[in-house]
Structure 1
Amino acid sequence: MAKPKDLIMFRSVLVAAALLLVALKEEAHGLSLNYYDHKCPGAEAAVTAAVRQAMAKDSTVPAGLLRLHFHDCFVRGCDASVLLDSTGNVTAEKDGPPNVSLHSFFVIDNAKQAVEALCPGVVSCADILAFAARDAVALSGGPSWVVPVGRRDGRVSLVSETSTLPGPRASFEQLKQAFHARGLSTKDLVVLSGGHTLGFAHCSSFQDRIHINNNGGPQQVDPALNPSFAASLRRACPANNTVRAAGSGLDATSTAFDNTYYRMLQAGRGLLSSDEALLTHPKTRAFVALYAASQEAFFRAFAKSMLRMSGLNGGNEVRANCRRVN
């Protein structure tokens, strides 16, 4: 009879093999598993070192990097357009309303500088961002995966296009439409929402759930919220809140990548309306239950969904500076 340790190792091998097959499919999208093997063999390690160094000083970095990658891929594909600075004539994505709270750009800058010192003009900012998002998850206790590479950086970044990003108040139908429009499934929607296991939301993102106008009477809270959880949120974000930095962690372990997000959602402790929306449809509710019960199932699904999302088409150059076009 196999020992428990042997069974765990066997399952790990199966998971790795499954993820490798998903990654191999990205070859059809013009990406490759060995694109930098000879062109810049130290690139991936340099990015990991930059992420690790930043995390040692700032525990919010992993959430920032994961959100950067998501917001990049959902606008023009994974082309690092979210990293471009606004110019005198054009307001860029990063200055759009959904993106003003994005952070950790400096980590990508540092990684790019390190990679350019190794092999100038070879590694795209889009690939660096894909590596960094993977490292942010893995170094926070989550799964890792092989990142297919060969993306190109985009030359266009428009603030107007950020309106297509799903927001914190999105309904299930709005979320589903946003994901399906990008070739991602309803399952991907639930899985990638699990990225909310990392990070923080400002009061403005959920204020409407804890201070509902009541025709002049006492303000109410969303009945879907656990009463004690709602009370804690009201203390953190009073109706007359003027503290811009005030808010709440997206789950109770907001610096660790785990499945706490799904368990909190089931307990009426999901922070955002878009989180709560996952419980409004039988199919998504079943996925929430699955991932709440099995962290292993969530990790395996998250790696696969990230590979699908990061395979979205991108740009056409390798930028020397991630903040501006060549």
Structure 2
Amino acid sequence: MRDGVRHAGAIMMAVGMVLSSALLAMGANRPFWTEQAMFRFGEDLFFVGRSTCAPTAEVGRQRAYHAAIQEVQNYTRAAEVGNVRIETQMIYEEPNPESCREGQTSVWRLLRAPAHRLDKLNRIALQQSDPQEMKRIGTGFYQKVRDLTPKVGMHKDEVFELFGQPKSITMLQAGTVIRWEYPRFGFTLSFDGNGYVTGWKHAGPVSSAKAGSFSPAASQELSAGVDQPKQIRQSEEPAIDLTKQLEKLQIQNKGLAEAKEARRHCERIYSHDSSLQESCTKYEVSKRERLQASGDIGLDASRAAKVICNSRWPNDDELRQSCQGFERDRILDLQKRRY
């Protein structure tokens, strides 16, 4: 009986490790790396190129590639980097973004290159600089790059802040080992029961239709931290997949958060009448549930406004943009009055 209770407690603790942080990122759709210009991970440097409002996805990919190459050249201060192997790690495409015209696409492209080769070019450029330039730059720009390599002993909150919610979570050895898997980025992290990183592995991304385009997995697998001997791993108990439990708890917790927010709202506007507070809370919770079930109202309103205004002003970009803003606000206002 005690073992069962302890086992269930370990499951809840493992799921809870990311639940609070995951709720903060439920609205974030883009990969974490789209917010970076460059970063270091393990033995590689990664550079991000962006193309906004490209006429086609292919044009956007090309523009994003050249933008990322420019970031490489800015880092190395070298006119040519042809002798360095540079690979596309990932492409993220966002069709029909709100800030662009209908049919346009924004593209982010992530390039990967060996850090030691680029650092060498950076040092060579530094040595060839004049004394005043060397004094201004100091010990080398390459030391200032943000390092996103997971560290043994890092807490799960730091990991979530860097990489977002994992694709799946598994528990091993009765809850003493928790694993977060990020297949889109090709690495897995291991945590102890208290939520601290004990090790990680990186072997290149796993291909996914939703995530865009990927390069083949790296031939050399990077790893760090404590790893279990093969004979122990073969005899350990089957892994318990906690991903479904995480998803259920996220839905439940979001509903509780909405209810608390509704109650605070009603207590504020009916501070001297408890009966009105109760009626108001029930109404607000019901309204929020209906709004949630209807999807993203703002996104739906933007799409509807585009359709309306594209038919009204097909040949006048300025009038069409103004029309879209007006129609979107009008639709949202009608939606608010409805509830």
TM-score (norm 2): 0.25
Could you say which structure has the higher strand fraction? 2
Could you say which structure has the higher helix fraction? 1
TM-score (norm 1): 0.25
